[in-house]
C-alpha cells in the first residue's frame, strides 16, 4: 500500500476512496496490518461483516502489485475484452485477478 494512503486519516481516506468497494478498502487495511493475521484475521474480518476469501483474494493481487496494472487497465492501456485478457496473460498477470481488482476499484 502506498505510504501516502497509510498516512491519511480515515475521514480523508473515505473521500479519496470514492467508489472503491468496501472489500478493496478492507484489503488495504489487511495489508496495513489492521486485521492481524491467520485465524485472527479471519475472525476479525468476519466480525466486521466481510467475506474472508473475497478480501484475501484482493490482498493477494495487491501484494503482487496488481493495483498499478489495474489502474492501467482502467486507463485503457491493455485494450478490451479478449484482447485485454491476452495482453495481461502475455505480460504474466492473472487476468481474472486483475479484473477483480478493477471491478472493486470502480464500485
Mean pLDDT within 72-100: 96
- Identify the sign of the CA torsion 22, 16, 30, 36: negative
Whole-angstrom distance, CA of residue 41 vs CA of residue 34: 9
Residue with cell 496495513: 32
> Which cell numbers hold the place of 56?
484475501
The string of pLDDT tens digits covering residues 17-54 is 456 799 999 999 999 999 999 999 999 999 999 999 99
> What pLDDT is attached to residue 82?
96
| DSSP code, position 21 | -
- pTM for the whole thing? 0.74
Amino acid at each position: 500500500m502506498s505510504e501516502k494512503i497509510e498516512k491519511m486519516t480515515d475521514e480523508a481516506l473515505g473521500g479519496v476512496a470514492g467508489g472503491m468497494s468496501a472489500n478493496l478498502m478492507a484489503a488495504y487495511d489487511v495489508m496495513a496490518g489492521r486485521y492481524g493475521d491467520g485465524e485472527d484475521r479471519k475472525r476479525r474480518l468476519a466480525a466486521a461483516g466481510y467475506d474472508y476469501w473475497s478480501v484475501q483474494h484482493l490482498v493477494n493481487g495487491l501484494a503482487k502489485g496488481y493495483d498499478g496494472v489495474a489502474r492501467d487497465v482502467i486507463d485503457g492501456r491493455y485494450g478490451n475484452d479478449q484482447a485485454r485478457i491476452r495482453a495481461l496473460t502475455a505480460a504474466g498477470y492473472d487476468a481474472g485477478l486483475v479484473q477483480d481488482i478493477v471491478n472493486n476499484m470502480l464500485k
